[in-house]
Amino acid sequence: MTMSNTGGRRRPPTIHDVAREAGVSRGTVSRVLNGGHYVSPSAAEAVNAAIRRTGYVVNRHARSLITGRSDSVGFLLTEPQERFFEDPNFNVLLRGCTQALAAHDIPLLLMIAGTQAERRRIVRYITAGHVDGVLLVSSHSGDPVAEELRAAGVPLVACGKPIGLGSKVSYVAADDRDGARDMVRHLLGLGRRRVGVVTGPLDTPGGVERLAGYKEVLAEAGIGIDERLIVSGDYSRASGEAGAERLLAGAPDMDAVFVASDLMAQGVLTALRRAGRRVPQDVAVGGFDDSQAAVATSPGLTTIRQPWDRISSEMVRVLLAQVSGEDPATVILPTELVRRESA
C-alpha cells in the first residue's frame, strides 16, 4: 500500500468501476440508475450489489452536462431584508420546500436578491440553466425578477398570487378571502358589532383579498362599512401598533379587530395594552397566519392558520410538474380558524 485514505479525499468510484465490478457495461449500469427499464433482473441485481460494495454515488455534474438538467431548484427570495428577518412563516415555508424536494433527491439553492446587483447576478445564474426551476417568494408583487424569469421560460412557482403576470405563472396560495370571512364571522359570533380591521399592503392580492372577506361578511350581516374602522399596514409589527392607535383614535368604541397578520397583531396587542383595553374582554383580536408569533403573545392569539406545510409541498409538486413539461397551474388551499384566548 503506497497510498492511505487518511487526510486527502479519495477519488470516488465512477460508473465504470461499478460496471467492471458487476461484470456489465456502463450502459447497463446507467439504465439501472435511471429507472431500470430494459434490464434483466439478474443484471440489475449484480449492478445494485456492485453499487453497494463500491459505495458509488452518481456524479451529478457529469449527468447534468449531458442531460441539460441540473436536478436542483432555486428558492428565490426577493423580499427587502427586514421582512425576511421578521416573518416567522418564512422558516416553515423554507423547511417545507427543502423536505419536499429532498424526497425527490433534489437540492435547494437558496438565493436572496436584496440589491439590484444581486438581482442581476441571480437572474443570470438562473437563466444560464444552473437550476431547473425556481420557487419564488416575494410578497411585493409586480416583481421585475419574476417577469424576467417568466420571459426566459424558466419554470416558476410563486408563493401567493403575483400581480401583473397574467395567468402565465403558477402560484400556490391560501384562500385569503375565505380565511378572512371565517375570522370576521367568528368575531361577530362573539357578539361584537364594531369590528375594525388592520389590512395588509393593498398592492398585494393577499392584502386585498383579506379586506374583501371582511367587507363581505359585514355586508351579509347587515352591518355597514365604517371607514374609520379600516386602516392598512404592511404586515410588520410596527405597522400593527400604529394601526391600532389610529383605530382607537377614530373609533374608540371598537370592540373587535381583525388583523391581517399575526406579526401586526402583536403590535396591536401592545397598543391595546398601552391604551388600557383588555383583550379579549374589551377588544377581541383575531390574527392571520398562525405563525410562531401567535403563540408568543399573551393572551394567545386566535388566528387563521395558513397551511404552510401543504403550501410548500404543492409549490414543489407544481414546479416539478412544470419542469417535466406540464403547463403552469394555480392551487388555492383552504385555511382554518385556530381559537386561542384573544377572541
Partner DNA sequence: TTCTCTACTGTGAACGCTCACAGAGCAGCG
Partner DNA sequence: CGCTGCTCTGTGAGCGTTCACAGTAGAGAA
Footprint of a copy of itself on 144-183 (CB under 8 A): 152-154
| Closest distance of CB 180 from a copy of itself, Å | 24
Closest CB to DNA among 63 and 140? 63
286 touches 254 (CB < 8 A): no
Which of 23, 27, 36, 129 binds a copy of itself (CB under 8 A)? It is: 129
The set of residues, in sequence order, having a beta carbon less than 8 Å from that of 197 and lying 6+ positions away, is 211, 214, 229, 230, 231, 257, 258, 259, 260
Closest CB to DNA among 39 and 135? 39
| Closest distance of CB 124 from DNA, Å | 13
Q: Which does 324 bind (CB under 5 to 8 A by kind): a copy of itself, DNA, none?
A: none
Binding site for DNA (CB under 7 A): 11, 14-16, 23-31, 33-34, 38-43, 56, 58-59, 62-63, 65-67
Q: What angle do CA 188, 190, 191 make, to 5 degrees?
A: 70
Kindly list the distances between the CA atom of residue 315 and the CA atoms of 80, 83, 90, 93, 217, in Å, as whole numbers in the listed order: 22, 21, 14, 10, 30
DSSP 139-191: SS-S-HHHHHHHHTT--EEEESPPSSSTTSSEEEEE-HHHHHHHHHHHHHHTT
Pairing label, strands 230-232, 195-199: parallel
| Closest distance of CB 57 from a copy of itself, Å | 4
Kindly list the distances between the CA atom of residue 4 and the CA atoms of 9, 11, 161, in Å, as whole numbers in the listed order: 10, 12, 56
Which of 18, 21, 24, 90 binds a copy of itself (CB under 8 A)? It is: 90
Q: DSSP letter at 200?
A: -
Which of 34, 40, 81, 324 binds a copy of itself (CB under 8 A)? It is: 81
- B/e letters for 290-303, b = 16+ CB within 10 Å, e = fewer, are bbebbeebeeebbb
Integer Cα distance of 262 and 84 in angstroms: 15
Kindly list the distances between the CA atom of residue 322 and the CA atoms of 27, 155, 254, 260, 316, in Å, as whole numbers in the listed order: 29, 6, 48, 32, 10
Closest CB to DNA among 58 and 149? 58
Which of 32, 46, 108, 135 binds a copy of itself (CB under 8 A)? It is: 108
Integer Cα distance of 322 and 75 in angstroms: 15
| Closest distance of CB 17 from a copy of itself, Å | 13
Q: Which does 202 bind (CB under 5 to 8 A by kind): a copy of itself, DNA, none?
A: none
| Closest distance of CB 130 from a copy of itself, Å | 6
Q: Is 85 in the site for a copy of itself (CB under 8 A)?
A: yes
Interaction pattern, residues 228-257, with a copy of itself; x per rule: CB under 8 A: ---------x--------------------
Instruction: Indicate the Cα dihedral angle 94, 155, 235, 221, nearest 10°.
Output: -110
Kindly list the distances between the CA atom of residue 147 and the CA atoms of 123, 133, 258, 325, 326, in Å, as whole numbers in the listed order: 11, 14, 33, 19, 19
Q: Is 288 in the site for a copy of itself (CB under 8 A)?
A: no
Q: Is 52 in the site for a copy of itself (CB under 8 A)?
A: no
Using the Cα atoms of residue 308, residue 313, residue 316 and residue 317 in order, give the sign of their dihedral: negative
Q: Which does 270 bind (CB under 5 to 8 A by kind): DNA, a copy of itself, none?
A: a copy of itself
# chain residues binding a copy of itself, by CB under 8 A: 54
Closest CB to a copy of itself among 49 and 128? 128
Q: Is 104 in the site for a copy of itself (CB under 8 A)?
A: no
Closest CB to DNA among 63 and 194? 63
Binding site for a copy of itself (CB under 8 A): 7-9, 12, 57-62, 64-65, 70, 72, 75, 81, 84-86, 90-92, 94-95, 98-99, 102, 105, 107-112, 114, 118, 121, 124-125, 127-130, 152-154, 237, 266, 270, 273, 292-293, 296, 298
